[in-house]
């Protein structure tokens, strides 16, 4: 029997009854929420976890062949909800985990009351009548660079993803987080992320959703946030003053305020 809570390094805190489930992005772990969760602990039950292969998750649970789609990570999340008997969940997902949350809410719509999607992108590669921010050659080059020199890729890409160059410690934190990740697992997850296409999933979501779109986000530009909002039947879009792709670290106060306003 798999110990699901050990597998995903699940941590529960807070004084409330309604669960808030926070899901981190690529190359990160639950510590990326540390500046935000205290603002919600009095009113909500805070549930943090690490995707398998990241943070303090059980690396032995990363079975080759199992994690070959984002749906596998969504299924893990649903197993956490089942194990803890979480219902009426407020889901907060960053970056690729926004789409993982979308997949979970499609599979078990009755378990989720709200989705908060920070920097979501259903597809990173441009397509006819769709601007994802990258052309196919960009993504191939990105993945080739990652394959050949993961640590080098991390030190180049993390500061670009984070932005806010006047605060280099933010880019350094993301670089360190990437570098702590097992390179083979990171490569697998990067392929799933950057080659994903979840555009057709968005209209299937009927959970009320908030899309938080940052300024100057190279990973998920404004056109993507607008697209996600247009395709999600019951959504609200907020353009933030926060810059970069990780407002949970760079601009936690603005991110908290936007979420509280939505809730």
Catalytic annotation, residues = 95, 217, 245
Render the chain in DSSP notation, one character per residue.
Answer: ---HHHHTT-EEE-S-SSEEEEE--TT--GGGGTTTGGGTTTTSEEEE---TTSTTS-GGG--TTTSSSHHHHHHHHHHHHHHTT--SEEEEEETHHHHHHHHHHHHSGGGEEEEEEES--SBSB-BTTB--SB-HHHHHHHHHHHHH-HHHHHHHHHHHHH--TT-HHHHHHHHHHHHHS-HHHHHHHHHHHHT-B-GGGGGG--S-EEEEEEET-SSS-HHHHHHHHHHSTTEEEEEEEEESS-HHHH-HHHHHHHHHHH-
Name residues whose C-beta falls within 8 Å of residue 56's C-beta, 6 or more positions apart in sequence: 9, 29, 50
Q: Which of 142, 163, 166 is nearest to 245 (CA)?
A: 163
Closest CA to 93 of 84, 103, 83: 103
Distances (CA, A) of 223 to 27, 28, 131, 201: 24, 25, 7, 18
């Amino acid at each position: 029997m798999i110990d699901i809570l050990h597998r995903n390094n699940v941590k529960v805190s807070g004084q409330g009854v309604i669960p808030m489930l926070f899901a981190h992005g690529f190359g990160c772990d639950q510590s990326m929420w540390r500046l935000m969760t205290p603002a919600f602990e009095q009113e909500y039950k805070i549930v943090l976890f690490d995707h398998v292969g990241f943070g303090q998750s059980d690396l032995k649970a990363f079975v080759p062949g199992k994690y070959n789609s984002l749906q596998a990570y969504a299924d893990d999340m649903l197993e956490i909800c089942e194990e803890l008997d979480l219902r009426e969940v407020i889901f907060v997902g960053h970056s690729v985990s926004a789409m993982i949350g979308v997949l979970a809410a499609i599979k078990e719509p009755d378990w989720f009351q709200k989705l908060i999607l920070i920097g979501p992108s259903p597809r990173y590669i441009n397509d006819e009548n769709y601007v994802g921010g990258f052309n196919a050659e960009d993504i191939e080059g990105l993945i080739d660079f990652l394959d050949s020199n993961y640590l080098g890729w991390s030190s180049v890409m993390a500061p670009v993803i984070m932005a806010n160059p006047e605060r280099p410690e933010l880019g350094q934190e993301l670089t360190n987080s990437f570098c702590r990740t097992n390179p083979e697992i990171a490569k697998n997850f990067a392929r799933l992320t950057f080659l994903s296409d979840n555009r057709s999933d968005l209209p299937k979501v009927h959970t009320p959703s908030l899309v938080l779109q940052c300024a100057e986000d190279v990973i998920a530009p404004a056109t993507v946030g607008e697209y996600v909002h247009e395709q999600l039947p019951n959504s609200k879009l907020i353009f933030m003053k926060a810059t970069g792709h990780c407002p949970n670290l760079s601009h936690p106060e603005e991110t908290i305020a936007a979420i509280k306003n939505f809730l």
